[in-house]
């Protein structure tokens, strides 16, 4: 049975809740923060901190923000924020009253943000349309990125995550996908595992040994996923979507992973993040992971983060016979 066909008739209650407030056109895809996350204390803390930060930064300009969704969509606050923080002179109107003018203004502002932060289009977690339509998730990603770049000492709460639902209006009906999305990174605490220090040491002081360590991990992984007819050649790229990591955990820990629980061929960053978050949860539940990991780092192919995860498995199963 085609799952898309069933989706046209059976939808979770939360889907109907979103559709009651949002119009999703044919062929359109939208992502929302689930109600279960909207009152998350850490999310509320982040929102209040960002509002206070903006108001403090723009105090002399007598600009007061009360709501991130309602007060930033037209570009006025973002315009003043960038000029104040980055001394950027933007060629835009001070006030844009029509939607067309607001869209034009946001386009200039977001282009300036991407240039200042040296971000490629594929790295952007916001768009003109999402900011203009008061999308909270996109607005948070944008503000966190600006704050990290221009005010890196701002004490943002660590490890803020939200549950999201993506709804796509296809020709066969509505298609949904659930995921967990990181908004702020986990900060390493003073009790971090010694292997964290060891990998920092390896990358900074003994980079010539890096290839040798990678070969050890490659051999270890291939010993086990080879039973599934798979072969790992590159740690950075092949672990980014979480598939091989999940299959490796399943082989070593004796899990049966239902194909409905993860994306075997992920087609988006959201699906990759879902896979990686599931893998991290399995590692934590199994007592193999007791230090914070940002799943986005794994998806981005961060070698150090990926090797730390592999070491959790390697240290327990390195002597296991094939």
Task: Identify the CATH number of the domain in which residue 262 sits.
Answer: 1.10.418.10
- Helix count and strand count (H, E) for the chain: 16, 3
Domain boundary among 135, 162, 182: 182
**What pLDDT was estimated at residue 322?**
43
Residues 175 and 201 in one domain: no
The tokens of 67 are what?
């709501």
Q: Which domain holds residue 287?
A: 194-317
Domain boundary among 128, 156, 182: 182
Asked if residues 110 and 126 have their Cβ atoms less than 8 Å apart, the reply is: yes
Residues 163 and 277 in one domain: no
Instruction: Look up the pTM and report it.
Output: 0.55
Domain boundary among 159, 182, 205: 182
Residues 112 and 56 in one domain: yes
- The tally of domains found in the chain comes to 2
Residues 201 and 167 in one domain: no
pLDDT of residue 4 exceeding 70: no
When pLDDT is cut at 50, 70 and 90, the band that residue 163 belongs to is confident
In a domain, 187, yes or no: no
In a domain, 189, yes or no: no
- Phi, psi dihedral angles at 94 (to 5 degrees): -60, -45
Mean pLDDT of the chain: 81
Residues 200 and 302 in one domain: yes
In a domain, 322, yes or no: no
What separation in angstroms does the CA of 170 have from each of 17, 133, 167, 204, 264?
A: 19, 21, 9, 49, 21
When pLDDT is cut at 50, 70 and 90, the band that residue 257 belongs to is confident
């Amino acid at each position: 049975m085609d799952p898309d066909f069933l989706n046209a008739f059976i939808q979770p209650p939360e889907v109907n809740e979103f559709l009651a407030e949002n119009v999703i056109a044919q062929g359109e895809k939208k992502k929302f923060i689930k109600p279960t996350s909207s009152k998350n204390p850490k999310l509320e803390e982040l929102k209040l901190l960002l509002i206070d930060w903006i108001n403090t930064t723009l105090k002399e300009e007598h600009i007061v923000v009360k709501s991130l969704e309602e007060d930033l969509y037209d570009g006025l606050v973002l315009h003043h924020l960038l000029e104040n923080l980055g001394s950027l002179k933007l060629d835009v109107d001070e006030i844009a009253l029509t939607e067309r003018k607001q869209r034009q203004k946001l386009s200039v502002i977001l282009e300036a943000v991407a240039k200042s932060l040296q971000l490629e289009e594929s790295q952007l977690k916001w768009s003109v349309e999402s900011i203009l339509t008061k999308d909270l998730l996109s607005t948070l990603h944008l503000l966190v990125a600006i704050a990290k770049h221009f005010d890196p000492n701002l004490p943002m709460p660590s490890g803020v995550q939200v549950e999201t639902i993506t709804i796509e209006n296809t020709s066969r009906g509505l298609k949904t996908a659930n995921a967990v999305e990181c908004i702020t990174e986990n900060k390493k605490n003073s009790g971090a595992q010694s292997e964290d220090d060891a990998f920092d040491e390896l990358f900074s002081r003994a980079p010539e040994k890096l290839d040798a360590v990678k070969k050890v991990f490659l051999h270890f992984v291939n010993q086990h996923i080879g039973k599934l007819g798979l072969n790992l050649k590159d740690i950075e790229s092949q672990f980014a979507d979480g598939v091989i990591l999940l299959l490796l955990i399943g082989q070593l820990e004796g899990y049966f992973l239902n194909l409905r629980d993860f994306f075997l061929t992920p087609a988006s960053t959201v699906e990759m993040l879902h896979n990686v978050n599931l893998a991290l949860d399995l590692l934590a539940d199994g007592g193999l992971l007791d230090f914070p990991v940002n799943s986005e780092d794994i998806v981005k192919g961060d070698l150090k983060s990926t090797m730390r995860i592999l070491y959790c498995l390697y240290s327990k199963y390195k002597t296991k016979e094939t």
